[in-house]
């Protein structure tokens, strides 16, 4: 089963709201990733977790807060977002972050609109 699930599929939130995106995989992968993707552009890496520890933070604003409660789950907590944060948020997982051969499997994404 090469499935990564993400909830919700769509999210509309105001700039003062607090919300969370959820990502889950049951492939036994030890690396999980958050990407942000604007329309017609490539995904941009935000965070990497390896063995449940934050490994890479690509200088993401603090209004985005990642959390990895266990090896299967990855959350992205959102607070005080700006309209320019509206995008498709993709979660991905791979067996290990340290081996170039391991492909990343992506979830279907959450389309976020900030009003």
Partner 1 sequence: AQKITQTQPGMFVQEKEAVTLDCTYDTSDPSYGLFWYKQPSSGEMIFLIYQGSYDQQNATEGRYSLNFQKARKSANLVISASQLGDSAMYFCAMIVMIYNQGGKLIFGQGTELSVKP
Which residues of the shown chain bind partner 1 in the complex (CB under 8 A)? 31, 33, 40-43, 45, 48, 50, 55-56, 88, 90, 92, 94, 96-109, 111
Question: Residue 85: CB partners within 8 Å, gap ≥ 6?
Answer: 63, 64, 78, 112, 114
The residue (of 6 and 78) whose beta carbon lies closer to partner 1 is 6
Least separation in angstroms between residue 104's CB and partner 1 is 6
59: left (phi over 0), alpha (psi -120 to 50) or beta: left
d(CA 112, CA 13): 8
Which CB sits closer to partner 1, 1 or 103? Answer: 103
> What minimum distance in Å lies between the beta carbon of 9 and partner 1?
9
Rounded Cα gap, residues 88 and 110, in angstroms? 6
Residue with Cβ nearer partner 1 (67 or 108): 108
């Amino acid at each position: 089963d090469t499935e990564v699930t993400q909830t919700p599929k769509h999210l509309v939130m105001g700039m003062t709201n607090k919300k969370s995106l959820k990502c889950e995989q049951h492939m036994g992968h030890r690396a999980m990733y958050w990407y942000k993707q604007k329309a017609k552009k490539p995904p941009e890496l935000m965070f990497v977790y390896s063995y449940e520890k934050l490994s890479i933070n690509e200088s993401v604003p603090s209004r985005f807060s990642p959390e990895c409660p266990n090896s299967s789950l990855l959350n992205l907590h959102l607070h005080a977002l700006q309209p320019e944060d509206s995008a498709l948020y993709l979660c991905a997982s791979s067996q290990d972050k340290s081996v170039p051969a391991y492909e990343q499997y992506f979830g279907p994404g959450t389309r976020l609109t900030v009003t």
